[in-house]
Amino acid sequence: MLNGKTVAVVVPAFNEERQIRVVIETMPDFVDRIVVVNDCSEDRTAEAIKASMEKAPISPLEIREPSEQIEENVYNKAEIIALHLSRAERSRFAPARIANKDQRRDRIILINHIARSGLGAAMATGYRWCLDQRIDCTARMDGDGQMDPSELESICGPVIYEGIDYVKGNRLIHKSAPFLMPKLRFLGNSVLSMLTKIASGYWHISDTQTGYTAISLKALDSIPLYKIYSGYGMPNDMLVKLNMAYCTIKEVGIKPVYRVGETSKMRIGRVIPKISWLLVKSFFKRVWVKYFFRDFHPLFLLYNFGFLLGILNIPILIKMIGYVSQGRPITFQSLMVFIFFGISSFQSIFFAMWMDIQDNERLYR
């Protein structure tokens, strides 16, 4: 525990037999539960986890599941509906089995997915367990050993002591990042960070692909966990969902850790296009849900007006290119319309972004 509050760490694992025991056995003492989600590993990851479980002492903290029975009265109908919805959502998570005999006392919890479901689905499973147990602060550490356990308290601290909803590490601000991180991964991370700023509304963050994070119980309860993107775009999707739920965020500087025996499973060439498309869709969803359906804001009109003018300008541009290729002069009327639409589109999007940045300043701590 930290400051009297419970702490858990979710460890998603797929084919991590070489590193998973080091991750588990170097976990700081203040961590009450280590929730390892084995996503149908094809090696001996499950056996390695069980070996650590056999060595682990029984946790001094006994966690009791909260009662799911609410006595109905005229004031708590909303709570009862929320409870029923939460129960119904459980069937939407990836099918899984818990290997433990005594979840209340075991420090290491092993959850085995029945079918391979992806990183995001594994995190959703772990988050759901922590939400059900009402854990105050839930961190994430990957099973590949790329996260220094000595930095975990600095990740969890803002959630525990300051009431921040979501804390994420940032490796890019460490001076060694351009030299230690693989060049292609550093470039890909930078590109996705830029796109995630726009899509999520958290304009001042970077290193969006890091998995070293901590989230509060309140934030876990405010987002649809079963809808978390199942693949490697999970951290980006989480940021969008957290912003739509008006969750506060803070970044903590951490050091990059590489070449500790891990084997990367991410294929940059495949991942970046998928995540980029996810972010494009997420951007429009955020704008419509947050700034139209929930709370109307002028930036909704400016964004959509700017994009509409940009789309309308495409046929004019194609027509002008056709004139030039045929050696025909561009008409004055076409040129003026193209310039007007272009300038208006740029100004609308620019002012919408400025309003977006200003509106989300309140979420930084």
* Domain end position, chosen among 259, 289, 319: 289
Task: State the CB neighbour count (10 A cutoff) for residue 168.
Answer: 25
User: Residue 1 falls within a domain, yes or no?
Assistant: no
- Domain-embedded: residue 257: yes
Q: Which residues contact 258 (CB under 8 A, 6 or more apart)?
A: 146, 180, 181, 182
Classify residue 174: in a domain, yes or no: yes
Q: What angle (nearest 5°) sits at the alpha carbon of residue 255, between those of residues 251 and 259?
A: 135
71: number of Cβ within 10 Å: 6
Which of 261, 289, 317 is the endpoint of a domain? 289
Looking at the structure, tell me whether residues 233 and 301 fall in a common domain. Answer: no
Residue finishing a domain among 289, 314, 344 = 289
DSSP symbol at 103: T
Q: What is the 3-state secondary structure (H, E, C) of 18-51?
A: CCHHHHHHCCCCCCCEEEEEECCCCCCHHHHHHH
Residue 165 lies in a domain: yes
Q: For residues 284 and 153, state if they share a domain.
A: yes
At residue 21, the pLDDT reads 94
Nearest to 219 by CA among 163, 166, 161: 166
Same domain, 309 and 240: no
Is residue 183 located within the same domain as residue 81?
Answer: yes
The reply to whether 84 and 158 lie within a common domain is yes
pLDDT in tens, the chain (365 residues): 899 999 999 999 999 999 999 999 999 999 999 999 999 999 999 999 999 998 888 887 877 766 666 778 878 888 888 778 878 888 899 999 999 988 888 999 999 999 999 999 999 999 999 999 999 999 999 998 889 999 999 999 999 999 999 999 999 888 887 777 778 888 888 889 999 999 999 999 999 989 999 999 999 999 999 999 998 899 999 999 999 999 999 999 998 887 655 555 556 667 788 999 999 999 999 999 999 999 999 999 999 999 999 999 999 999 999 888 888 888 888 899 999 999 999 999 999 999 999 999 999 98
| pLDDT for position 265 | 58
> Does residue 234 sit in the same domain as residue 314?
no
- Widest CA span of the chain, in angstroms? 83
Q: What is the predicted pLDDT for the residue at 51?
A: 92
- Kindly state whether residues 258 and 325 are assigned to the same domain: no
Domain extent, residue 337, equals 297-363
Burial of 48 (0-12, 13-18, 19+ CB in 10 A): buried
Question: Do 91 and 20 fall within a single domain?
Answer: yes
Asked whether residue 2 is domain-assigned, the answer is no
- Identify the CATH number of the domain in which residue 112 sits: 3.90.550.10
CA atoms of 213 and 297, how far apart (whole Å):
30
With b meaning 16 or more CB within 10 Å and e meaning fewer, what string describes 132-155? ebebbbbbbbbbbbbbbbebbbbb
Overall number of domains in the chain: 2
| Residue 186 shares a structural domain with residue 99 | yes
204-207 CB contacts, 8 Å cutoff, 24+ apart: 204/251, 204/364, 205/168, 205/170, 205/239, 205/249, 205/251, 206/170, 206/172, 206/173, 206/251, 207/168, 207/169, 207/170, 207/171, 207/172, 207/173, 207/251
Residue 34: closest CA among 17, 45, 20 = 20
- For the record, the structure tokens of 250 come out as 């803070």
308 within some domain: yes
Same domain, 201 and 312: no
Q: Within a domain: residue 212?
A: yes
pTM: 0.90
Q: Tens digit of pLDDT for each residue in 209-250?
A: 899 999 999 999 999 999 999 988 999 999 999 999 999 999
Query: b or e along 257-285 (b: 16 or more beta carbons within 10 Å of the residue's beta carbon)?
Result: beeeebeeeeeeeebbeebbebbeebbee
In this structure, is the dihedral angle defined by the CA atoms of residues 105, 107, 108 and 110, taken in order, positive or negative? Answer: positive
Residues 189 and 328 placed together within one structural domain of the fold: no
State residue 47's pLDDT score. 94
Q: Are 282 and 153 in the same domain?
A: yes
43 assigned to some structural domain: yes
